[in-house]
A and B are shown apart, each in its own frame.
Chain A
Amino acid sequence: MSFLEVKNLHVEVEDKKILNGLTLSAEKGQVAAIMGPNGSGKSTLAYVLAGKDNYKVTEGEVLLNGENILEMSPDERAAKGVFLAFQYPVEVPGVATMTFLRTALNAQRKTRGEAEVSTPEFMKLVRDTANHLGISQEMLRRAVNVGFSGGEKKRNEILQMAVLQPNLAVLDETDSGLDIDALKIVADGVNRLRSPERSMVVITHYQRLLNYIVPDVVHVLANGRVVKSGGKELALELEAKGYAQFQGEAA
C-alpha cells in the first residue's frame, strides 16, 4: 500500500464537477509532480487533500497511511502530517508570524499527544530555516504575510513547512509569480526538506520548477483525472508538445 492513495475521487464545487474519478498514489521518500492545463483540477485536488469546505466529495476516498482523511477537519489532517503550501497565501492581520508558527506547531503536537516545543528549540528551528530562505527577523515580527511581496509569501509557506515537518507536503503552484532567483531559493528550501519520511506532491503548470525540484514521478491531469503517468522525462515531453493531446483524449 502506498503512503497516499487517492481512489476514484469525484469532487464538485458549487454544483460543478471538477474531479472525475481521480486515482493517484504517492510514496514516502518520493516527489510526485502533478502537471496539467488550467481547469484540469490541480488546485481542487490540493484543497480537497487539505480539507477546505465547499468542496463536495461525491465518490471515492483518500487514504493517508491507510486511514481515510476525508472525514477529518483540516486541523486534524495537519496533525496527521498533511501540509498545503498555498498558491495564494492569505494575509492574517494582527497575528505575528512567530505567534502563528508556534501556535500551529504546539496545536499539532497537542493533538498528537506530544509535549509543547521548548522556546530555545523553537527559536533555533525558526531562525535557521528563515536564514536559509532569506527571511529576515523583521519579517518574522510582522503579521503573517501582511505587506509581504508575492515571493516573500511563497518563502513564508516553505518556512511553515520546515517548522511543521509534515509527512505529506502538497505544493500548489509554488512557482507561480516567482522570478528565477526567488524560484531557486524556494526550490532549494523544498529540496532541503526531501526526506525518506516525507512524501511530496508538487503541483505545477510549467516544467520550469521541475528543473530545480526534480520529481521521481510525473502525473498529467486533464479534466479531473490522471491521464498519463511517467518519469521525470514526461515533464520535458509536455513542455515540448503541450497539453492539447491529453485534453483531446479526455474530451
Chain B
Amino acid sequence: MSADVRAMKTPAEQALSSAFAATRCKLPGKGAVVALRDDAFRRFDASGLPHRRIEEWKYTDLRALMREAKPLAEPVGSKGVVPALSGVEASRIAIVNGRYEPGWSNIDDPGIVLSELFAFAGEETDYRLGNAPGKDDIAVSLNTAFMTGGVALRIKKGARVSKPIQLAHIFSGAAAATYPRCIVVVEKGAQLTLIESFDGPSGADYQVNSVLELVIGEGAQVDHVKVGSDGDAALRISTLGVTVDAKANYRDFAFTTGGAVVRNQTFVRFVREGTEASISGATLIKGRQHVDNTLVIEHAAGGCTSRERFRSVLDGESHSIFQGKIIVEPHAQKTDAKMASHALLLSDEAEADNKPELEIFADDVQCGHGATAGALDSSLKFYLMSRGIPEKQAEALLIQAFVGEAIEEVANEGIRESLMQAAINWLNTRG
C-alpha cells in the first residue's frame, strides 16, 4: 500500500525531494546537523505531506493546501518591514527569510547568551537540537531537513530579563520558503517574556515553516506570545515544542490575524511536578483565511495545572480549527487540566471546528473541556442598542469583549494593550 502512495507524490512533494537533493550539501551545519537533516528528510519522505486521513492534520490537509513547494528564500536584509508589536518596548532579534540578522538585532542584557543557531549546534552544550516535544511531527521533520538558520538563546540561571525579547520573523522579497529554527533555554529560576512574531508582505504566497524549541527550567517563569500578522497569501506552519521542569510558571498566547493558511502547533511536556501553565490564544480572521491551533499537552509528571483557553472570531468564509489533546500519563496523579475553546461566527459561511481530546491514564485527576461556536447573542446586541449604541458599534463592542477575555491572559501590559489595539484595528477593517 505505501508503495502506491509514494507513486502518487504531489508536485509539492516532488519539488521538496529535488530541493533536498540539490541543497543538502549547501545547507549550513556540520556532522551531527547533517545526520539530523538526513534522518528528518527520510521520515518526511516516507510519509509525504500530511493530509486529511492523518488524524492530527485532519482539518489542515497540507497535501491539498500546499499546491507547490517554493524554492528556499534568499537572504535579503530587512529593509522596509516593520514587525508586529513594534510599539512595545522590547529587545529584538531579527530573523529575516529564515536567517539571523545580527545587524538589526539589539540584545544587551547580561543575563542572556545569544548564539547563531548553527554556531550553538556546533558547541559542546548539554542541549541537543531536535529533541523537543513534537519532534516526530511531519512539519517539524521538514523544518529539520531544511532549517536555514535562527538563534539559540540561553537565559542564565536566576536571571530576570527586564524587557521582553522579540524573535521577529520577517519575510521579504519574492515568494519563497523559509525554515527558521530557534532554541530558547530558560534556566532554573530565570524569568523571560518572549515574543515570537511573523510578518511579511500581502500578495506574496510565501511559505514559512518555523520551529521553536523552548526549555523551561525549574521554578522559571516564562511568558511566550506568538503574533501572526503574515501577508494575506502566506502559508505558515509554526511549531512550538516546550519542555517544562518542576514548579515553573508558563504562560503562552497565540494571536493570529494574518496569513492565508496558518497552523500553530504547540507540543508541551510537563516533566516534573508542580508547574502551572496557561496556554491560550485569540484568532480573528475573514475572507478565506484558514487558521489551525493544535495543542498536545502531555502531563508526564503529577501535580501540574494546565489551562487551555482559545477564542476565535470568524467573518466571511474563514475557517478556524482548534484541536486540543491533553494526555495524562499513568503516574501523573493530581493533574488539573481544563480546556475551553469558543468561536464567534460573524457570517453564515464561516466554519469553526473544535476537537478536544482527553487521554487520561491516571485515576486521581481533574480534567475537563468545553467548546462552543455561535453567532453574536441578539439579546445582548439589543440591550446595547437600546442604550443608544448603533448596531455596528454594538457588534464591535461585543466582539471586542469576546476576544478581550482571551487577551486578558497576557500578563505583560504593553503587549496586552498592543494586541487589544490590533483586535480593534481588525474590527475597524470589517466595515
- Taking beta carbons and an 8 Å cutoff, which residues of A are in contact with B? 50-53, 73-75, 77-79, 83-84, 86, 89-90, 92-95, 100, 103-105, 107-108, 111, 143, 160, 164
Contact = CB atoms under 8 A, between A and B. Distances in A.
Given A53-B382, A86-B383, A92-B383, A75 B401 contact: no
Contacts of B405: 93-94
Contacts of B377: 90
Given A53-B378, A90-B380, A103-B397, A78 B402 contact: no
Interface stretch (B180-188, B239-247, B331-339, B385-393): B385-393
A53 B383 CA distance: 12
B384 interface: yes
Contacts of A95: 397-398, 401
Give me the 10 closest cross-chain CB pairs, A-B, nearest first. A94-B401, A78-B388, A108-B388, A104-B387, A74-B385, A75-B385, A95-B401, A74-B386, A107-B389, A94-B405
A52 to B, nearest CB: 6
Contact of A75 (B378, B390, B397, B402): B390
Contact of A107 (B380, B382, B388, B402): B388
Which among A51, A77, A78, A79 has the greatest number of chain B C-beta atoms within 10 A?
A78
Contacts of A78: 385-388
Nearest to B404: A94
A79 B390 CA distance: 10
A94 B388 contact: no
Given A53-B378, A92-B380, A92-B383, A103 B389 contact: yes
Contacts of B390: 73, 75, 107, 111
B395 to A, nearest CB: 12
B2 interface: no
A74 B391 CA distance: 9
A92 B382 contact: no
Given A53-B378, A107-B393, A93 B401 contact: yes
Nearest to B394: A75
Nearest to A161: B387
Contacts of B383: 86, 89-90, 92
B16 to A, nearest CB: 44
A128 B382 CA distance: 27
Which among B380, B387, B397 has the greatest number of chain A C-beta atoms within 10 A?
B387
B425 interface: no
Contacts of A74: 382, 385-386
B429 interface: no
B377 to A, nearest CB: 8
Contacts of A92: 380, 383-384, 398, 401
B379 interface: yes
Contact of B379 (A50, A90, A160): A90
A86 B347 CA distance: 29
B388 A164 contact: yes
Contacts of B404: 94
Nearest to B390: A75
A75 B389 contact: yes
A50 B401 contact: no
B386 A51 contact: yes
Given A92-B401, A93-B405, A111 B379 contact: no
A33 B387 CA distance: 22
Which among A75, A78, A108 has the greatest number of chain B C-beta atoms within 10 A?
A75
B402 A94 contact: yes
A153 B386 CA distance: 16
Given A93-B405, A94-B401, A95-B397, A75 B391 contact: yes
Nearest to B403: A94
Contacts of A75: 385-391, 394
Given A94-B401, A95-B397, A160 B387 contact: yes
Contacts of B402: 94
